[in-house]
Structure 1
């Protein structure tokens, strides 16, 4: 990698929002470290390099402590300051809580909660030491409502959103910025992987990952605390969730997330 360009880290970068975030970084002149656990990461890295970026691909499973350590060791080995990071890796699973497999629930918590918190601590410790850097954390509009029929996923995103807002306050006098990206339903592999294609949410309208990522990077570079992306419908839902009681929001999520015949 050249040390004349800023460096960004993107997790969950093999497809979907993560890949589009990586593309946005490249278009803004960054070199990259990209991570995902699947073999599609190498193809994504190859595509990203076509725009002139130096890209280090780290295939590691962030559901494990070893995967987190492997990724961070590779970042440090570059010997360059980390100017920006997008902690985007996440998974979900549809179905009633008593019916979903506990091992799958645990994977959601390990990836969405534990790896996000661990990498946030590592990234921010490095950035605050230099008093410079920008962090984007992919939360979700799901963080604003109880998630009937995707209970663990919504709870994990509530943790991510709460953690992000708390650390924003702790670092309010720092030059380091933290931005929460809150997408709604997005046209990615998420619903297929979460076994939610037969749900109202899975069948309903979705934002493009390109639009979500563009809004996210624009907010990151502007130092904004939060961006709800990308459509007006998602922004309206987030605004409505600020005033609706949790019982109503849970019932609404049930309608959208409960499997249909």
Structure 2
């Protein structure tokens, strides 16, 4: 199928799941708008993806700030680009008991995981509704399904993303625009390092981590099929099923035991 001039806009596109998703779009012939904070990383990845014979636009933006989320779209419009697909992948967490963690870092994370996501999605919809087509992939997480002691703000942001994604999906059901939520579990990316989670019990057995490639494939298929959500990986499906049949306080206790530091009894 000819994808010429059909752009996929991907945030967090230089590493982890975002990078693997960008690779799948590139292989499928989509042009890319790649968004990340690091200009040099963007250029390196853009050169790699151009080898697939596609156009790649790089945008170095800091999505911790609202202004950069708004300016990203205004710059695309100035260049006459209307992405057909939006992938809200960029997201971070911060590890530790809430009473001890840095509030400024947490406000940044809420801005990145929630505020920039709703801004970009609003601008995408304003642009695409008249065209009657479009696809949105929002990175939720199995963290969206259970409270997360030691990682409380991250879990809260992902619960927002899932609930809001399901709501706007219903609003958009006759618009030609689909909304899909991707729910990975622990995945072998730089996420834990950035969150300061390297001492967490969740990383005791690195072999249990999903590969970002597999998560991306699951998300890509679900997006292209117009599914409402996909939980990536059998273990994660079982974990969510367990959460669904327990009380919130039990789910929080179970998650807290999984995520606390290895040296905590």
Q: Quick check: TM above 0.5?
A: yes
Match of 2:59 in 1: 58
Match of 1:209 in 2: 212
Match of 1:255 in 2: 257
**Contact residue 148 and residue 250 of structure 1 kept, 8 A:** yes
**Contact residue 149 and residue 257 of structure 1 kept, 8 A:** yes
TM-score, normalising length: structure 2: 0.94
Match of 1:137 in 2: 138
**Contact residue 3 and residue 29 of structure 2 kept, 8 A:** no
Q: CA RMSD in A?
A: 1.5
Tell me the SS of whatever aligns to 2:181. strand
Which whole-Å deviations, capped at 9, do the CAs of 1:81-132 have from their partners, x for residues lacking one? 3211101110001100000000111111010010011111111221212111
Provide the C-alpha distance between the structure 2 equivalents of 1:187 and 1:237, rounded to a whole number of angstroms. Answer: 18
Provide the C-alpha distance between the structure 1 equivalents of 2:204 and 2:52, rounded to a whole number of angstroms. Answer: 34
Provide the C-alpha distance between the structure 1 equivalents of 2:62 and 2:203, rounded to a whole number of angstroms. Answer: 26
Match of 1:148 in 2: 149
Provide the C-alpha distance between the structure 2 equivalents of 1:253 and 1:130, rounded to a whole number of angstroms. Answer: 43
Q: What is the aligned length?
A: 259
Match of 1:72 in 2: 73
Provide the C-alpha distance between the structure 2 equivalents of 1:33 and 1:42, rounded to a whole number of angstroms. Answer: 12
Provide the C-alpha distance between the structure 2 equivalents of 1:221 and 1:56, rounded to a whole number of angstroms. Answer: 22
Provide the C-alpha distance between the structure 2 equivalents of 1:211 and 1:184, rounded to a whole number of angstroms. Answer: 11
- The equivalences for 1:148-167 within 5 A come to 148-167=149-168
Deviation at 1:3, TM superposition (A): 8.4
**Contact residue 146 and residue 253 of structure 1 kept, 8 A:** yes
TM-score, normalising length: structure 1: 0.95
**Contact residue 147 and residue 248 of structure 2 kept, 8 A:** yes
Provide the C-alpha distance between the structure 2 equivalents of 1:65 and 1:74, rounded to a whole number of angstroms. Answer: 14
Match of 1:193 in 2: 194
Match of 1:22 in 2: 22
Gaps of 5+ in 2: none
Tell me the SS of whatever aligns to 1:158. helix
Which whole-Å deviations, capped at 9, do the CAs of 1:22-57 have from their partners, x for residues lacking one? 111111110000101124222222222122221111
Gaps of 5+ in 1: none
Provide the C-alpha distance between the structure 2 equivalents of 1:34 and 1:74, rounded to a whole number of angstroms. Answer: 13
Provide the C-alpha distance between the structure 2 equivalents of 1:78 and 1:244, rounded to a whole number of angstroms. Answer: 51
Tell me the SS of whatever aligns to 1:69. helix
